[in-house]
Amino acid sequence: MTSLDLFSSTEFWTSLLVALVGGGGVGAIIGAISSRRKDTADIAAKACDILTDSVIKPLREQVESQEEQIQHLEVQQRKYFALTAYTRSLFHWLQQFCEIVEPDFLQRHPKPHLPDELRADVAPETVEGE
């Protein structure tokens, strides 16, 4: 009997099937497959943890830091706008005071020209519609 005859015989396949089932071969195969799936899931979970710890967590911390910086800058901007409005009001008041106390003062000492690059921030009402 040749090896080809062996694989084509019904007795061989029956014996092999009985050996696998009876000897725990199927259970071993199923166990190996499920173990491999579990290993794959463990590897994927570890990769996810590494990704979270090394990439996502630092990005979240960076975003939180940037949010704090933005909030700080917004507070500073509100203070700047309030200071600018107060300074403008004060100088308008001083202008009126000078006109009352010494009418010729502004002719001798004209008010400085507001630079164009500051006009939108300091006096937005004087900027023409864009």
- Confidence at 38, pLDDT banded by 50, 70, 90: low
Exposed / middle / buried, residue 111 (Cβ in 10 Å: 0-12, 13-18, 19+): exposed
Q: For all residues of the chain together, what is the average pLDDT?
A: 79
pLDDT in tens, 69-81: 999 999 999 999 8
pTM over 0.95: no
What secondary structure does DSSP assign to 14-25, as a single string? HHHHHHHHHTTH
